Amino acid sequence: MEMTAQLTIDCSDPQRIVAFWSRALGYVPEPAPDGHATWRGYWEAMGVPAEELPTGAGDIPESIVDPAGRGPRVWFQQVPEPKTGKNRWHFDLKAGGGRDVPLDVRTRRVRDAVDQLVEAGATVLRIKDEQGMGLYAVAMQDPEGNEFDVV
Protein backbone atom coordinates (compact mmCIF):
# COMPACT_ATOMS: atom_id res chain seq x y z
CA MET A 1 0.00 0.00 0.00
CA GLU A 2 1.34 3.43 -0.94
CA MET A 3 1.40 6.02 1.84
CA THR A 4 1.21 9.75 1.18
CA ALA A 5 1.07 12.65 3.61
CA GLN A 6 -1.00 15.80 3.76
CA LEU A 7 -0.60 18.53 6.35
CA THR A 8 -3.97 19.92 7.50
CA ILE A 9 -4.02 23.26 9.27
CA ASP A 10 -7.15 24.61 10.93
CA CYS A 11 -7.86 28.26 10.17
CA SER A 12 -10.67 30.79 10.06
CA ASP A 13 -9.87 32.38 6.67
CA PRO A 14 -8.54 29.84 4.13
CA GLN A 15 -8.25 32.41 1.34
CA ARG A 16 -5.93 34.63 3.39
CA ILE A 17 -3.85 31.70 4.64
CA VAL A 18 -3.60 30.06 1.19
CA ALA A 19 -2.22 33.33 -0.20
CA PHE A 20 0.30 33.68 2.65
CA TRP A 21 1.60 30.09 2.69
CA SER A 22 1.73 29.88 -1.12
CA ARG A 23 4.14 32.77 -1.05
CA ALA A 24 6.05 31.55 2.02
CA LEU A 25 6.61 28.00 0.71
CA GLY A 26 6.77 28.70 -3.04
CA TYR A 27 3.66 26.53 -3.47
CA VAL A 28 0.64 27.19 -5.68
CA PRO A 29 -3.08 27.01 -4.92
CA GLU A 30 -4.32 23.56 -5.91
CA PRO A 31 -6.83 23.71 -8.77
CA ALA A 32 -10.07 21.75 -8.52
CA PRO A 33 -10.01 18.30 -10.12
CA ASP A 34 -10.66 18.04 -13.88
CA GLY A 35 -14.13 18.99 -14.99
CA HIS A 36 -14.92 21.13 -11.95
CA ALA A 37 -14.66 24.91 -11.78
CA THR A 38 -14.29 24.89 -7.98
CA TRP A 39 -13.56 22.50 -5.14
CA ARG A 40 -17.10 23.16 -3.88
CA GLY A 41 -18.47 21.90 -7.19
CA TYR A 42 -16.26 18.81 -6.92
CA TRP A 43 -17.37 18.10 -3.34
CA GLU A 44 -21.03 18.58 -4.25
CA ALA A 45 -20.62 16.19 -7.20
CA MET A 46 -19.12 13.65 -4.77
CA GLY A 47 -22.24 13.92 -2.62
CA VAL A 48 -20.88 15.92 0.31
CA PRO A 49 -23.99 17.21 2.15
CA ALA A 50 -24.55 20.98 2.01
CA GLU A 51 -24.58 21.19 5.83
CA GLU A 52 -20.95 20.01 5.84
CA LEU A 53 -19.86 22.84 3.55
CA PRO A 54 -19.60 26.22 5.31
CA THR A 55 -20.55 29.30 3.32
CA GLY A 56 -17.77 29.95 0.82
CA ALA A 57 -16.02 26.60 1.40
CA GLY A 58 -14.36 25.44 -1.78
CA ASP A 59 -15.23 28.55 -3.76
CA ILE A 60 -11.50 29.29 -3.87
CA PRO A 61 -8.70 26.71 -3.47
CA GLU A 62 -8.18 25.82 0.20
CA SER A 63 -5.11 23.70 -0.42
CA ILE A 64 -1.66 24.35 -1.82
CA VAL A 65 0.78 22.05 -3.59
CA ASP A 66 4.46 22.06 -4.39
CA PRO A 67 4.72 22.80 -8.15
CA ALA A 68 7.81 20.56 -8.28
CA GLY A 69 5.85 17.70 -6.69
CA ARG A 70 8.33 17.12 -3.85
CA GLY A 71 6.59 18.54 -0.79
CA PRO A 72 3.32 17.49 0.81
CA ARG A 73 -0.07 18.93 -0.01
CA VAL A 74 -1.20 21.44 2.63
CA TRP A 75 -4.93 21.84 3.27
CA PHE A 76 -6.26 24.82 5.23
CA GLN A 77 -9.46 23.57 6.84
CA GLN A 78 -11.92 26.27 7.85
CA VAL A 79 -13.01 25.93 11.47
CA PRO A 80 -15.26 28.23 13.54
CA GLU A 81 -13.01 28.56 16.61
CA PRO A 82 -9.89 30.79 16.72
CA LYS A 83 -6.38 29.60 17.53
CA THR A 84 -5.99 29.68 21.31
CA GLY A 85 -2.63 28.12 22.21
CA LYS A 86 0.92 27.53 21.07
CA ASN A 87 1.51 25.26 18.10
CA ARG A 88 2.70 21.73 18.77
CA TRP A 89 4.26 21.74 15.26
CA HIS A 90 5.81 24.38 13.08
CA PHE A 91 7.43 24.93 9.72
CA ASP A 92 11.15 25.68 9.52
CA LEU A 93 11.66 27.72 6.36
CA LYS A 94 15.28 27.08 5.46
CA ALA A 95 16.19 30.32 3.71
CA GLY A 96 19.77 30.58 4.98
CA GLY A 97 21.28 27.69 3.07
CA GLY A 98 22.53 25.52 5.94
CA ARG A 99 25.63 25.44 8.12
CA ASP A 100 27.97 25.09 5.13
CA VAL A 101 27.12 28.70 4.23
CA PRO A 102 28.99 31.41 6.18
CA LEU A 103 26.95 32.89 9.05
CA ASP A 104 26.95 36.41 7.62
CA VAL A 105 25.52 35.14 4.33
CA ARG A 106 22.91 33.00 6.12
CA THR A 107 21.95 35.98 8.29
CA ARG A 108 21.44 38.21 5.24
CA ARG A 109 19.37 35.53 3.48
CA VAL A 110 17.19 35.00 6.56
CA ARG A 111 16.66 38.75 6.99
CA ASP A 112 15.67 39.08 3.32
CA ALA A 113 13.17 36.21 3.67
CA VAL A 114 11.78 37.71 6.89
CA ASP A 115 11.26 41.08 5.17
CA GLN A 116 9.29 39.38 2.38
CA LEU A 117 7.19 37.39 4.87
CA VAL A 118 6.39 40.50 6.93
CA GLU A 119 5.28 42.19 3.71
CA ALA A 120 3.01 39.16 3.09
CA GLY A 121 1.40 39.48 6.54
CA ALA A 122 3.68 37.66 9.01
CA THR A 123 4.80 39.03 12.37
CA VAL A 124 8.27 38.70 13.93
CA LEU A 125 8.13 37.15 17.42
CA ARG A 126 11.83 36.99 18.31
CA ILE A 127 15.29 36.76 16.81
CA LYS A 128 17.49 33.82 17.75
CA ASP A 129 21.06 35.12 17.52
CA GLU A 130 23.13 33.73 20.38
CA GLN A 131 26.84 34.50 20.45
CA GLY A 132 29.02 31.51 19.67
CA MET A 133 26.14 29.29 18.46
CA GLY A 134 26.66 29.97 14.75
CA LEU A 135 22.91 30.39 14.37
CA TYR A 136 20.67 33.14 13.09
CA ALA A 137 16.95 32.38 13.02
CA VAL A 138 13.73 34.32 13.38
CA ALA A 139 10.57 33.03 15.06
CA MET A 140 7.47 34.37 13.32
CA GLN A 141 3.68 34.06 13.15
CA ASP A 142 1.50 33.77 10.06
CA PRO A 143 -1.56 36.05 9.72
CA GLU A 144 -3.63 33.73 11.99
CA GLY A 145 -0.96 33.36 14.67
CA ASN A 146 0.59 30.01 13.69
CA GLU A 147 4.28 30.00 14.64
CA PHE A 148 7.11 29.16 12.26
CA ASP A 149 10.86 29.75 12.06
CA VAL A 150 13.04 31.15 9.30
CA VAL A 151 16.54 29.67 9.52
Contact criterion met (CB below 8 Å) for 58 and 40: yes
What sign for the dihedral angle of Cα 10, 67, 43, 1?
A: negative
Quickly state the pLDDT bin for 130 (edges 50, 70, 90): confident
Between the alpha carbon of residue 140 and those of residues 93, 96, 115, the distances in Å are 10, 15, 11
Mean pLDDT of 46-53: 89
Q: Residue 121, by phi and psi: left (phi above 0), alpha (psi -120 to 50) or beta?
A: left
Q: Is the pLDDT of residue 6 over 80?
A: yes
pLDDT, one tens digit per residue, over 57-82 is: 888 899 999 999 999 999 998 888 88
Pair type for strands 137-141 and 28-29? unpaired
What sign for the dihedral angle of Cα 18, 19, 20, 25?
A: positive
CA angle at residue 150 from 98 to 147, to 5 degrees? 145
End-to-end CA, the chain: 35
Confirm whether pTM is higher than 0.75. yes
